[in-house]
Amino acid sequence: DTAVSQTPKYLVTQMGNDKSIKCEQNLGHDTMYWYKQDSKKFLKIMFSYNNKELIINETVPNRFSPKSPDKAHLNLHINSLELGDSAVYFCASSPLSGGYSYEQYFGPGTRLTVT
Interface contacts to another protein, rule CB under 8 A: 31, 33, 40-45, 48, 50, 55-56, 58, 90, 94, 96, 99-104, 106-109
Secondary structure, 3-state, the chain: CCCEEEECCEEEECCCCCEEEEEEECCCCCEEEEEEECCCCCEEEEEEEECCEEEEECCCCCCEEEEEEECCEEEEEECCCCHHHCEEEEEEEECCECCECCCCEECCCEEEEEC
Residue whose CB is less far from another protein, 15 or 55 = 55
Residue whose CB is less far from another protein, 14 or 41 = 41
User: At closest approach, how far in Å is the CB of 40 from another protein?
Assistant: 8
Residue whose CB is less far from another protein, 2 or 79 = 2
User: At closest approach, how far in Å is the CB of 64 from another protein?
Assistant: 17
User: At closest approach, how far in Å is the CB of 43 from another protein?
Assistant: 4
